[in-house]
Amino acid sequence: MLPGIAARRRLNRGFEALAISPDERWLYLIFQSPLAHPNVAAFRQAKHVRIWKLELASGAVAAQFLYPLDKPKSFTRDQARGDVDRSDIKVSEAFAIGKDELLVLERISHTTKIYRVRLDKRHALAEPHLNARTRPTLEQLSAADELIPDVTVLRKTHILSSDDAPDLPADLEGMVALSPTELLLVNDNDFSVEGARTQFWRVRFKRKLF
């Protein structure tokens, strides 16, 4: 059973990014947005999302990490269409390229970014931060820029931004690595309500991603 703190997720902002380690021992879960913990104000203002590393056999949380979100105005295509704020940013996909190493897809609507991040055990958070009663919450600390000594933040390495690739469309939400130098991306067609079609894009890199 997952920790009860998962119930603090914002409506429709639960686990969208899931990845299994290559040895199939671990499942990585990334909340789509900061938790609304203890309230909606924390969700709207927090600058980090939680990553959970679960033991696949038991479902127990083995470690928790804090992933830093980019600044809203750095999502250029979205900013050009009107003001955006922190609550617009979402983590929509993850892919494990090794044990405790992930590619993470971070987005609003029109701009999509991909980062590589290593879940170094030195950055794992103390166990009390899985308890919904712990105060201040991670989201409160994040919103106030007051992370305390036992709260360390993961470092991420930039891989791709759709702002630098005009051929890439809006609403990219899916990702898989075809090889160390190729990613396959897919858009969200939103059930084709507005006529969008599901499409795939293969992106090649000059250097190996892993």
pLDDT digits (tens, 9 = 90+) for 57-93: 999 999 999 999 999 999 999 999 999 999 999 999 9
Place of tokens 């991603």: 209
Across residues 99-128, what is the average pLDDT? 97
What integer pLDDT is reported at residue 150 of this predicted model? 87
**Global pTM value:** 0.96
What integer pLDDT is reported at residue 190 of this predicted model? 73
DSSP 8-state assignment for residue 129 = G
What integer pLDDT is reported at residue 73 of this predicted model? 96
Does the pLDDT at position 122 exceed 80? Answer: yes
* Alpha carbon distance, N-terminus to C-terminus of the chain: 33
Does the pLDDT at position 187 exceed 70? Answer: yes
On average, the pLDDT of the chain sits at: 95
Does the pLDDT at position 114 exceed 70? Answer: yes
What integer pLDDT is reported at residue 149 of this predicted model? 86
pLDDT > 90: percent of the chain: 90
Across residues 162-167, what is the average pLDDT? 94
Does the pLDDT at position 194 exceed 80? Answer: no
Does the pLDDT at position 193 exceed 70? Answer: no
What integer pLDDT is reported at residue 192 of this predicted model? 67
Exposed/middle/buried for 1, CB within 10 Å: 0-12, 13-18, 19+? exposed
Q: How confident is the model at residue 5 (pLDDT cuts 50, 70, 90)?
A: very high
Cis peptide before 72 (omega within 30 of 0): no
What integer pLDDT is reported at residue 91 of this predicted model? 98
Does the pLDDT at position 121 exceed 70? Answer: yes
How many angstroms separate the Cα of 53 from the Cα of each of 10, 20, 64, 158, 195? 20, 10, 6, 22, 37
Strand arrangement, sheet containing 15-20:
15-20, 26-31, 48-55, 61-68
Sorted by sequence, the CB contacts under 8 Å of residue 164 that are 6+ apart come out as: none
Across residues 164-170, what is the average pLDDT? 93
